[in-house]
Homo-oligomer: A and B are copies of this chain.
Amino acid sequence: MTIILYQDKFLPREQGQVDMEDRGYQFGDGIYEAIRVYGGKMFLLDLHMKRLERSARELRLKLPYSLEHLTDNLNQLIRQNQINEGLVYFQITRGAAHRQHLFPDHIESVLTGSAVSLPREETLRPNGIKVSLVDDIRWLRCDIKTLNLLGNVLARQEAHEKGSEEAILHRGATVTEGSSCNVFIVQNGQLVTHPADHFILNGITRLHVIDLAGKLNIPVEERTFSTDELYHADEVFITSTGAEVKPVVQIDERVIASGKPGSITQKLMNAFDEEVARIKAAALY
């Protein structure tokens, strides 16, 4: 039986119900995180929790539990659902109140969470993926991980209908990020990715790949780059919690470089694989 987290309680899936006047439902007034699970353990947990705190602060939304308590509950959720390789998703809304735009007084935040199995996609990676360029029409605070995701949804749908696995978004000539990932290009042995400002969500995998690159002596430049630089990059890859590091070999009808995943992308994937292997080995003891 699937178990979900509702506030502080573990409930059967079908009891995961929220009020119709929850502000998450009427305004998208809430935040969320999705955390990778390897060997039954949450990966890069501290970075996710730090980002959660920041999102809450930016929206002045009260976290209903301490991070320690929340972590304990998420770990229990993973165990109860027997998740080994998977994804924990949870969201926190400002809570339920009679509909008005203003933040209501005396409102209690609402937490809902789930844990699902999600195998790693190693088998997909050897060939890389096709993506589509889509206009970035989202709001100007993409740095906050909110539930206002319709711009992301529409972009992903558009890319899907063009036969692509993901949308890469651009504002004018500037590439920002994907519908649910960050975008890196490789130029002359160097990684380039959009800076973590208000135009992108600062992905935890993005941060981790920048860290891994440092350890591998691969230089990283955080600066905006253009759609033209994207098309002419030596390599392109995307990063996300679910997809980890995934090579991009085609953008709409344009093939990137040789049309195969590049060597620097491969190095990063290998480093990532080794890390996950270590975590899984450690989890066996």
Complex CA distance for A235 and B11, rounded to whole angstroms: 57
Q: Is the CB of B157 within 8 A of A101?
A: yes
Chain A residues within CB distance 8 Å of chain B: 4, 6, 16-22, 24-29, 32, 59, 89, 91, 93, 98-99, 101-103, 112, 114, 116, 137-141, 146-154, 156-157, 160, 179-180
Contact of A28 among B98, B147, B160 (CB under 8 A): B147
- State whether A150 and B139 are in contact (beta carbons under 8 Å apart), knowing that A16-B20, A25-B22, A28-B28 are contacts in the complex: yes
- State whether A102 and B156 are in contact (beta carbons under 8 Å apart), knowing that A28-B147, A28-B148 are contacts in the complex: yes
Copies in the complex: 2
Q: Which residues of B contact A98 (CB under 8 A)?
A: 116
Q: Which residues of B contact A138 (CB under 8 A)?
A: 139
Q: Is the CB of A160 within 8 A of B102?
A: yes
Complex CA distance for A141 and B158, rounded to whole angstroms: 15
Contact of A101 among B24, B139, B153 (CB under 8 A): B153
Contact of A150 among B17, B25, B29 (CB under 8 A): B29
